[in-house]
A and B are shown apart, each in its own frame.
Chain A
Amino acid sequence: MSKTRTHRIDRHTDPEGPYPPTEEMLAEPIDPELRKAQGERLKKAWAMPKGWRYISAVNNSEVGKWYSLTAFGFMILAGIMSLIMRVQLAVPENDFVSADLYNQLFTMHGSAMMFLFAVPMFEAISILLLPGFLGARDMPFPRLSAYGYWAFLIGGIFVMGSILFGAAPDSGWFMYPPLATQSEGIGSDVWLLGLSFIEVASIAAAVELIVGTLKCRPPGMRVNVMPLYAWYVLVVGGMILFAFPPLIAGDFLFEMERSFDWPFFDPTRGGDPMLWQHLFWIFGHPEVYIIFLPSIAIAAMVVPTAAQRPIVGYSWIVLSAVGTGFLSFGLWVHHMFTTGLPALSLGFFSAASEAVVIPTGIQLFAFVATLMVGRVKMSLPMLWIAGALAIFTAGGLTGVMIAIAPFDWQVHDSYFIVAHLHYTLFGGMVFPLIAGIYYFYPFMTKKTMSVRLGRWAFWLLFTGFNITFLPMHLTGLKGMPRRVFTYPGDVGWDWLNMISTIGAFIAAAGFAVFAYDLLRPKGRQPKAPRNPWNGGTLEWSAETTDHGWGSRSIPYVTTRYPLWQQKGIVERMDEGRYYLPDAEEGLRETLVTSVIDAKPLQVMRVTGPAWVTLWAAAFTGGAFILPTFHIYVPAIISGVLAILCICYWLWTSTAIIPEKTKKDAGLGLKLPIYISGPGAAGWWGVFITMLGDATAFASLIFGVFFYWTASPDFPPEGSIHANWIVMAAAAALLTASWGAMLGSRQLNMNGRGDLATACLVAAPLLALAGIGAMILSVWLPGLEPTSHVYPAVMWGLVVWTSAHVGAGVIMQLYCLAAVIFGKVTPRYDAPLWNVTLFWHFVILTVLVTAAVVAALPRVL
């Protein structure tokens, strides 16, 4: 090993060469022979696997397609469930289905629409479209998309399939304890574990979408010129990142209560069912906007095309989208207006809920303004947008009503709410989504859908929807509660329900026409024109023959509507005059740019087809699904296999040391192939994931403070407390482990591989000792987690933190192996950066846990 102690390795990561490109550089003609050879090489690098190997594909265009079709399939299944419920309710005292089955049906209908359709559909469509909007070759982590998809498919089939065995969850999609914690059978576990699994996949996709938007934009596309859809991806991705973790934390507590009888929500042992309601709705309300904003995003792409001019009020829309995202986290209590909270807090949350009208109004009126300024051509997508507006404004206005707490006391949990939420979701999700499918269909498939069938589908769905749900407002005001499997004949709800049932079948016919038009073979149809709507954004530069490469060369973009505002951009892209026109090494590459200004930073090599992602998803599924049936040992084995698969996948396909430090990215610009630290997409992936993870941990801490403030005897008199000396030792050991990790990164960078290796040997040992000490600190004094919520929550924190440290140990060992086997060198050290970043979050978790477990009870 080198003895030069302080010599810092020259990392050579700065781009070299001219940037931005001048007009003369872009006008430079390209030799046709060379162009053809480049095209061949690109085609080969991005070729789709053939035959049965097709399912090993990871390309965003394939994964996105599977993902959206699967989500659509789950939507159809959940829709069929609603039809069964409508038949049951058509007449009073019906016995078409039993009470038990009805309860499973409405629970599954809601859960599936939320977790298997609305959120995944946004992610699926975004995976499919985002690279097109950004002129990128692919998403930054294609294998992660594939992993997320397979996890979604497995989890979705598991959760959906449970109803075939009469074992589906039956406590409502909100799963309120104590009903859901006491529910017999495996239904609640199916919900908790199956959907947690899917939530993990959702977060994975959100991370990828955020990183894709931040780091994979084309050169020159500053944040203030990126397509509005990309802004919405950022906002919604961020919301998923902060909204799902409270639910995951809640799921964790809930499953601990189900499996080990730790009484988090049991009022007889100090628990509180209200904590679940808070955690659930801190997730649940942003969820509404997570569903709604992507549809606004679609409208934001369709409307300027319909008006044939740039959007009016771009900045207003961006600010409103961000504002809606923030506000949505401060409204959750309006789902709990009838729980007897103090009037002051109800008033506050009423006002906060009403405040959302403003950003929502700005977005809607910006579209109207765009249509005013432009010359509107009414096309089929615009018909669906108009329908969406008609339905959504009705739902929004009833939302304004029920945000007034006293009015909500009357209609809460009645059919008025059922009507309201379906108006917002059909107007704010289903109709814009279908508009988007009609609009983007030529981009996605190079074919067009039928205008005639599209109109049929529209009018059937629009009238059917309104016949179903408009009367429900009255049904609710006439006192019919939600979630009832039957009702008496003498209260005046019978004819209203019959109307709703008839409407539901008309709406179903509309869906059937749409599904037929979407899926019917269009082989003989001629290809759609390249830019059939004359849109102005980059996705319409896609060639009519799909070569898998996305765009032939990655353009230099300086305007919001480059196809309208940058003359000749499409021809130049086709001719390969922009960046990355070639795949000299036959590898899949895309550009990484800087977060704000989109300056080119790196030529990133992205991963190609793989089976390991499928295996990893299957084993992760096993680890989540098997505990439902209390099969723990195979579940642990499955979990270990999942970790091994993921390690193999990371080892063989990420942070590969390149054959040269830099390569020509086109237009004379030489970019590094490998970068580590805050410039790299991987580092951002870890950072963003850990923000979500920290939110879940914060939710647990919120739980501790909730118990403390909401109940007079927390901790109860004479409780046993954790041993603070042992806990302090645990904190010290883990801090040392974190220090060793940080040290290994710095020493390695300074060329001291030997010392870095020593640090990486010490770090996991210290961490394992730390886990041991942390568990001893609650185990030695004899905290009994089933006795009361206080010891349970202390144990919960220790388990949560230990699991994170455990993951950190695996990562440290991975780094150790990487240093020993030369996968990490002083110049190429991305794993060390990423794992150190993970450990920054871990040490934060450890210190907070230590403070809360050991110090807080003594302060109180």
Chain B
Amino acid sequence: MPHRREGIEIFARKPTAVVAGAVFAAFGLSACEGPQSAFGATGADAIQLETLFIVMLVGAAILWVAVNGLFFYVTRVHTTSISRRLANGVIIGGGIGLPLVVVTALLVYGLSIMPDQRAEGDGLVVKVTGEKWWWRTEYQPLAGAPVVSANEIRLPTGSRTTFELTSERVIHSFWIPKLGGKMDMFPGRTTVLTLEPVTPGIYRGQCAEFCGESHALMAFKAVVMEPDAFDAWLEAEAAPIQADPQAPGAEIFFGEGCGACHALRGTQANGAVGPDLTHLATRESLAAAALPMNREALAKWVRNPETYKPGVKMPAYDHLSDEELDTLAGWLMELK
């Protein structure tokens, strides 16, 4: 095989080729990474599934080459007649023997991880309700009163969190690929998912079941924290609003009747149609991850939500002046 030897020699003589190979491999890995990727898993369940996938991928690649290689061989390389007995062996071996062995092994391995993936939670319970393109959340810690929030999931490492999932109107699906598999959310029924985050970080989750016009814009940030940091966050989240309810921005908020749909704990705003805004500005994103969380984005959103999320329930406030919108947005950004 002179060809192959030559190839090896090139690598031996030219270290740049080795470097290029390494760069390519690194690029290959980084190409798979991302905040919503199943690769580079950061939760116990997703790590298990990542390994399962790599095993299946290697097996599939071998089988693909074997089957197509055999086909190529008999149609292109060895086109003359091969014995009938061997041909019968191919049908029985390839059609029955091989799949029986491979599939049985895969089923044993693949299904054996199911109990782990469906294990009961041992810590926090989070109730998540799928709404018309946003997420209503309610944290129920082992001790203490439930805390209502929206459009972001925060989780502690070191324990298995239980999600009690339901939906307001249509079917949605709750999915944080970095942490594990997905679970559908049905109106009139509760489904349960448990996840065990391992590595702190900010990840992304998204609705995976088609839920109408702006299905594409129903996402959220999933923030995994060390347990202490999480407890501190939850305590802060349980508190009433920290911003000045007499500020000019607040006047616009209450004057425009925003409180009819949105709740601000500690004020008369107690609407439950839209997301709770008590600690809006602590969230990593706005409008179920359709926009970044900053003053400009908030002003744009309030002026005309339809532009950023077609079909959304929230009406446009384009009768407000740029100045008023900016003031309102500035105050909203103080909802820490």
Contact = CB atoms under 8 A, between A and B. Distances in A.
B63 A375 contact: no
A533 interface: no
Interface string A376-387: 111000100010
Please indicate which of the listed interface residues A365, A371, A390, A482 has the most CB atoms of chain B within 10 Å of its own CB: A365
B186 interface: yes
Interface stretch (B173-181, B250-258, B315-323): B173-181
Interface string B188-228: 11011000000000001011111111111100000000000
Contacts of A378: 75-76, 79
Interface in A264-300: 267-268, 273-274
Contacts of B177: 410, 477-479
Contacts of B118: 343
A650 interface: no
Interface string B50-62: 0011001000100
Given A339-B191, A368-B90, A405 B95 contact: no
Interface stretch (B11-19, B108-116, B134-142, B150-158): B108-116
A340 interface: yes
Interface stretch (B96-104, B120-128, B269-277, B294-302): B96-104
Nearest to A376: B79
A424 to B, nearest CB: 14
B204 A478 contact: no
A447 to B, nearest CB: 27
Interface in A357-392: 357-359, 361-366, 368-378, 382, 386, 389-390
Contacts of B264: none
Contacts of B115: 343
B42 to A, nearest CB: 13
A157 interface: no
Interface in A187-224: none
Interface in B167-185: 169-171, 173, 175, 177, 180-184
A750 interface: no
A479 B181 contact: no
B32 interface: yes
Contacts of A99: 213-214, 216, 310-311
Contacts of A479: 34-38, 175, 177, 204, 206
A251 B209 CA distance: 21
A397 B64 contact: yes
Contact of A389 (B68, B91, B180): B68
B231 to A, nearest CB: 29
B80 to A, nearest CB: 6
B36 A491 contact: yes
A410 B181 contact: yes
A386 B110 CA distance: 31
Given A313-B88, A375-B79, A375-B80, A400 B38 contact: no
A390 B66 CA distance: 11
A398 B107 CA distance: 14
Given A99-B214, A357-B99, A478-B34, A373 B60 contact: no
A182 B169 contact: yes
Given A312-B87, A358-B100, A368 B94 contact: yes
Contact of A182 (B53, B75, B170, B289): B170
Contacts of B171: 176, 178-179, 273
B8 interface: no
Contacts of B34: 478-479, 491-493
A485 interface: yes
Contacts of B22: none
Contacts of B103: 354-355, 357-358, 400
B335 interface: no
B33 interface: yes
A484 B215 contact: yes
Interface stretch (A45-53, A345-353, A452-460): A345-353
Interface residues of B, number: 88
Interface in A319-348: 320, 338-340, 343, 346-347
Interface stretch (A411-419, A437-445, A632-640, A673-681): A411-419
B310 A338 contact: no
A368 B81 CA distance: 12
A599 B208 CA distance: 57
B84 interface: yes
A60 interface: no
Contacts of B94: 361, 364-365, 368
A719 interface: no
Please indicate which of the listed interface residues A98, A267, A406, A485 has the most CB atoms of chain B within 10 Å of its own CB: A406
Contacts of A374: 81
Given A171-B210, A313-B88, A375-B80, A358 B181 contact: no
Contacts of B186: 267, 273-274, 339-340
B333 interface: no
Please indicate which of the listed interface residues B171, B180, B208 has the most CB atoms of chain A within 10 Å of its own CB: B208
B53 A401 contact: yes
A840 interface: no
Given A103-B213, A368-B74, A312 B204 contact: no
Nearest to A404: B110
Given A98-B310, A179-B212, A474-B32, A372 B74 contact: yes
A338 B173 contact: yes
B84 A312 contact: yes
Nearest to B48: A406
Nearest to A478: B37
B99 A268 contact: no
B31 interface: yes
Contacts of A172: 210
A406 B213 contact: no
B263 interface: no
Nearest to B289: A488
Contacts of B38: 410-411, 477-479
B331 interface: no
A516 interface: no
Please indicate which of the listed interface residues A176, A347, A369, A376 has the most CB atoms of chain B within 10 Å of its own CB: A369
A481 interface: yes
A461 B175 CA distance: 34
B233 interface: no
Contacts of B170: 176, 178-179, 182
Given A316-B91, A409-B117, A267 B189 contact: yes
Contact of A404 (B70, B81, B111, B216): B111
A481 B81 CA distance: 49
B86 interface: yes
Given A357-B99, A409-B182, A486 B82 contact: no
B262 to A, nearest CB: 24
A401 B58 CA distance: 11
B90 to A, nearest CB: 5
Given A267-B189, A407-B56, A479-B37, A369 B213 contact: no
A400 B56 contact: yes
A483 B213 CA distance: 10
Nearest to A409: B181
A179 B191 contact: no
B311 A376 contact: no
Contacts of B100: 358
B99 to A, nearest CB: 4
A407 B110 contact: yes
26 contacts: A170-B213, A178-B170, A178-B171, A273-B171, A347-B114, A350-B111, A354-B103, A358-B100, A369-B91, A372-B74, A372-B90, A375-B81, A393-B68, A397-B63, A397-B64, A400-B102, A404-B110, A407-B56, A410-B53, A477-B37, A477-B53, A478-B177, A479-B206, A481-B175, A481-B208, A492-B33
7 tightest CB-CB pairs across the interface, nearest first? A409-B181, A267-B188, A479-B36, A362-B95, A484-B216, A404-B110, A340-B191
Given A378-B75, A400-B60, A412-B173, 10 more contacts: A172-B210, A340-B186, A343-B115, A373-B82, A375-B81, A394-B60, A407-B52, A413-B208, A477-B39, A479-B34
